[in-house]
Chains A and B, each alone.
Chain A
Amino acid sequence: MGVVVKKVELSWLDRTYVWPVMKGMGITFQHFLKQLFTPTAKRYTIQYPDMKKEMPEGYRGLHELKRFEDGAIKCVACFMCQEACPARCISIEAEEFSDLNITQGFEEKRPAKFSIDMLRCIYCGMCEEACPKDAIWLRKDYEVAAYDRLSLLYGKWDLMNTYTATDGKERIAQDPTPSVPRRTIAL
């Protein structure tokens, strides 16, 4: 079926071509002046290394492994995230420990090693969804880059410290209590 194309009737002024060109130049010049007198901070362009975009709520960026106030890791090494991860990039090694003096003590299990291969991670957030303890969060940092592959294999301590600077927390590199296998307790 043919479509009837409606012809636009141009006025004689428009058909001179000079007047429409001047109108167009007026529009571009308005944009020019507007951009010229807009302070850098308010322009559309975010000049990246100097300025950074504030990511929206619910953005899925670099992970953080959460901790309690006393520095104990929230993760109980339940492997739920490892199972949920579609990219299979989480690998966990669990260990036993027990110390009822600290918050996490009664859980009796924690990761000895916890690593995420950031090169394989697709930032889908499944690990965050799956975690029963709310121990792994995807937060707003999007600057995940490095010079070699190995340094993007984030280990337990890397993941626990990813947002220390942002939150003003101190870096930790050690669990508050050493690992104690159950049978030594039983003895």
Chain B
Amino acid sequence: MDKLASLLHTSPAIAWMVAKLVIVFAGVFSLAAVWTWVERRGSAMIQDRIGPNRAALFGKIKIIGLAQPLADGIKFFFKEDLVPHDANKGLFWLAPFLALVPALMGFAVIPFGRSFVSGGQEYHLALLDPGNGMGLLYPLAIGGMAVYGVLVAAWSSNNKWSILGGMRSSAAMVSYEIGMSLAVVALFMRAGGYDPSEIITAQGGTLWKVLPNWNIFHQPLGFIVFFTCMFAETNRLPFDFAEGESEIVAGFNTEYGSMKFSLLALSEYCHLMTASALMATLYFGGWQVPFVQDPSVMLSVLSFLVKMLFFAWVFVWIRWTLPRFRYDQLMHLGWKAMLPMSMVNLVFHAWRMSQGH
């Protein structure tokens, strides 16, 4: 790192920052692209079909259809880029970025491996170093911004289906956010801080010698609430009201085509990645490896990746298992089930801590 930095005439800290940026954003982006393929293949397998297995590099190398996202990308670039006549042009252009940026930004605080020291300098495997004062409040806040992408896309395209979709997603947003935040607050109490590194450190070691000391085993109720809210937040089935294909055409992205549509679709997958990373960090010990006291850096990154990809797969899995809720049902669930549940969770753990556990 030092050599590279001197080669580029920068300080090691800046070189490291740039490297991290490239790794994280390129990684999340390409994982999201690959996940479009995983989703299609996975759904096909679940429904006893085969799925996209034909796209081949240079017409020869098929590798079980992995070239599909690439082919889709090229196709999207060459499609005609239509803007509806009565759409609000500026906002219409802005919306895909408004959707994509928060989806990616949430990832910034999540540590994807343990910090290490090299050459007297400490390197953190997260875009924002621990102790930045924002901690896990930041992804929650950014997650709240995500609805703007959907809403702006819906509003600016001046289409009734879109507006219905956007309205639904903003209505849904109000009902799950509080429950989710309360569930996370209970975690902050347990860790004694809201920095992701503190939360991860609190999850090291084992519980009763047989289980890893992960938050899920301490707060299963909170996990269920948080998990459900994550589905609502990423706008995916069973809560994909913003884009109910069967009832409101394609919801907020009805009017979108070519690369703008692809950005909207990709932002959903980026969001999915960020949500899975959050879940892995908050409830499954982040980069902690079960039963290993001090994992090496590589092992910790691998452990984090495995957890994250597992949850990303669960997102796909659930999507092809459950039918869509009505959106009043989500509000019912949010206000009458998840909010009380997370409150009970919070009060119960507060009580337990006051008893000195």
Contacts and interface: CB of A to CB of B under 8 A. Distances in A.
A35 B45 CA distance: 6
Given A18-B224, A32-B42, A25 B318 contact: yes
Given A31-B45, A32-B42, A43 B321 contact: no
A177 to B, nearest CB: 50
B134 interface: no
A47 interface: yes
Q: Interface residues of B toward A: which range?
A: 10 to 19
A45 B317 contact: no
A25 B314 CA distance: 9
Interface in B309-323: 317-318, 320-322
Interface stretch (B46-54, B75-83, B206-214): B46-54
B42 A43 contact: no
A145 B120 CA distance: 73
Contacts of A58: none
Given A18-B224, A35-B45, A29 B50 contact: no
B321 to A, nearest CB: 5
Contacts of A168: none
Size class of the A contact interface (CB-based, 8 Å) = 10 to 19
Contact of A45 (B50, B320, B321, B322): B50
Contacts of B42: 32
Nearest to A23: B321
Interface string A8-46: 000000000010010011011101101110001001110
B45 A21 contact: no
B48 A24 contact: no
Contacts of B50: 40, 43, 45, 47
B49 A32 contact: no
Interface in A25-79: 25, 27-29, 31-32, 34-36, 40, 43-45, 47
Nearest to B238: A21
A84 to B, nearest CB: 42
Contacts of B321: 21, 24-25, 27-28
A45 B49 contact: yes
A31 B46 CA distance: 5
A109 B335 CA distance: 88
A32 B321 CA distance: 11
B322 A32 contact: no
A35 B48 contact: yes
Interface string B289-323: 00000000000000000000000000001101110
Contacts of A25: 317-318, 321
A27 B321 CA distance: 8
Contacts of B46: 28-29, 31-32, 35
26 contacts: A18-B224, A21-B318, A21-B322, A24-B321, A25-B318, A27-B321, A28-B46, A28-B320, A29-B46, A31-B45, A31-B47, A32-B42, A32-B45, A32-B317, A35-B44, A35-B45, A35-B48, A35-B49, A36-B45, A40-B50, A43-B48, A43-B50, A44-B48, A44-B49, A45-B50, A47-B50
Given A18-B224, A21-B322, A35-B48, 15 more contacts: A25-B321, A28-B46, A28-B317, A28-B320, A29-B317, A31-B45, A31-B46, A31-B48, A32-B45, A34-B48, A35-B44, A35-B45, A35-B46, A35-B49, A45-B50
Interface of A: 18, 21, 24-25, 27-29, 31-32, 34-36, 40, 43-45, 47
Instruction: Please list the 3 inter-chain residue pairs (A to B) with the smallest Cβ-Cβ separation, ordered nearest first.
Output: A35-B45, A28-B321, A24-B321
